[in-house]
């Protein structure tokens, strides 16, 4: 490790780090990171994978074999984790001015791809900056349920 202002604890933690502001705690945690910065890896082999983005910035991987594939990403656990619990709600807010009033199915399909697909029981909020509306979109089965509310002044 040749980077500055990194914090590491554990065998080979942060082994290849050359940039700044990273935290790696655990055996081989953050080992794949080279020029990435402002990341946090906590757990055995967290951030140590051929799929880990070596140049990731502002990313967090927590848990055994957890890794990030992009900058500005948070990963909790590895592919064996089947349930993540919290005492509160987890929501995602997307700001987009490129949607109709209200958004169409095609626009929603284009905005939300990957793990956030219909039928997975997730909720997202869309703030359409071109109108006075705020949308709550809930994936339910093969349908989008869209709830519209007026923005508060």
Burial of 15 (0-12, 13-18, 19+ CB in 10 A): middle
Q: How confident is the model at residue 134 (pLDDT cuts 50, 70, 90)?
A: low
Q: How far apart are CA 128 and CA 98, in angstroms?
A: 8
Q: How confident is the model at residue 48 (pLDDT cuts 50, 70, 90)?
A: very high
Q: How far apart are CA 111 and CA 139, in angstroms?
A: 13
Q: How far apart are CA 138 and CA 125, in angstroms?
A: 9
Mean pLDDT, rounded, for 106-113 = 66
Residue 56's nearest CA partner among 94, 21, 92, 84 is 21
- What are residue 149's DSSP bridge partners? 134
* pLDDT 10s digits, 75-87: 999 989 888 877 7
Q: How confident is the model at residue 2 (pLDDT cuts 50, 70, 90)?
A: confident
pLDDT of residue 122: 56
pTM here?
Answer: 0.63
**Residue the block writes with tokens 């991987």:** 61
In the chain, what are the domain boundaries?
1-79, 92-150
Mean pLDDT, rounded, for 117-133 = 59
């Amino acid at each position: 490790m040749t980077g500055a202002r990194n914090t590491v604890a554990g065998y080979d933690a942060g082994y290849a780090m050359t940039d700044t502001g990273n935290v790696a705690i655990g055996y081989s945690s953050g080992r794949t990171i080279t020029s990435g910065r402002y990341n946090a890896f906590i757990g055995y082999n967290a951030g140590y994978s051929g799929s880990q983005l070596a140049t990731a910035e502002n990313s967090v991987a927590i848990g055994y074999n957890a890794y990030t594939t992009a900058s500005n990403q948070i990963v909790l656990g590895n592919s064996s984790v089947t349930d993540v619990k919290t005492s509160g709600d987890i929501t995602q807010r997307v700001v987009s001015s490129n949607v109709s009033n209200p958004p169409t199915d095609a626009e929603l399909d284009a905005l939300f791809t990957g793990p956030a697909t219909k039928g997975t029981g997730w909720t997202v909020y869309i703030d359409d900056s071109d109108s006075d509306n705020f949308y709550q979109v809930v994936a339910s089965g093969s349908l989008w349920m869209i709830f519209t509310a007026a923005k508060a002044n």
